[in-house]
Copies of this chain bind each other. A is one copy, B any other.
Amino acid sequence: MARKLYERVGKQDNHRPSPFSWRARYALAHKGLDIDDHVPVKFHDKESIAFSGQGFVPILIDGAETVHDSWAIATYLEDSYPDRPSLFGGSQALAHFMNTWADTALMPAVFPLVITDLHANIAEDDKAYFRETREKRLGRTIESFAADRSAFEANLAKALAPLRAQLDAYPYVSGPEPAYADYAVFSVFQFARCVSPTPVLSADDALRTWIDRISALFGGLGASCLRLEEGVAA
């Protein structure tokens, strides 16, 4: 059965800047499901995904099924492959909270620190579209939005408090073993290091050991891409 994942792509094919696409990748890997075809989708490219009836990636085609939205993909995989390792660590509802926390508390704290670099590190023919859509949403230029870096750093430090407390108590967000709650949170840090050469965490930050462990899962899935933080192409 052919399995195809439409994913956001940045400056080149192994540059994957979307946290949501990373969640879909990790969900598939957790279930032990191979992807036969990765389809790179630029920000401005709405044509290649018009078949899905909406304008966002990731989109999974799994045989006869087409599913979009990273959370919908995760629940689809859990329901369709119940005999494979569970994605939700015993509670789909609480994993959903982690997913919304990653989207509504962590991502807004990380995004302002990397948006200027994100714009600089996508494909040249994507930049005008990216700037126009983001500046419309922000109500001002990317550069003026991102200007006060120290305020955003203080904001991130505050936003990370519950995650730090969780990883003081358990090896993974999900408990003794990693699962979707980990991937949802990890995806935001993965996004940041894929798009910016300036780390959002200091070199000795305790969260890095957890990030490194998630990154190493599934044959080093998180490391198998261009990470600007390290300044190297895998």
Contact = CB atoms under 8 A, between A and B. Distances in A.
A166 B96 contact: yes
A117 to B, nearest CB: 24
A170 interface: yes
A116 interface: no
A96 B93 CA distance: 14
Interface residues of A: mostly helix, strand, loop or mixed?
helix
B91 A173 contact: no
B94 A162 contact: no
A162 B105 contact: yes
A174 B88 CA distance: 13
A94 B95 CA distance: 7
Contacts of A103: 162, 165
A81 interface: no
Nearest to A171: B93
Number of copies of this kind of chain in the complex: 2
A97 B161 contact: no
A17 B133 CA distance: 47
B97 A166 contact: yes
A201 B170 CA distance: 33
A161 B104 contact: yes
Contact of A98 (B97, B170, B172, B176): B97
18 contacts: A89-B91, A91-B91, A91-B95, A92-B175, A93-B166, A93-B172, A93-B173, A93-B174, A93-B176, A94-B98, A94-B173, A94-B181, A100-B162, A100-B165, A101-B101, A104-B161, A105-B105, A105-B161
Given A93-B176, A105-B105, 7 more contacts: A89-B90, A90-B90, A94-B175, A96-B170, A100-B162, A101-B101, A103-B165
Closest 4 CB pairs of A and B: A93-B175, A90-B90, A94-B94, A104-B161
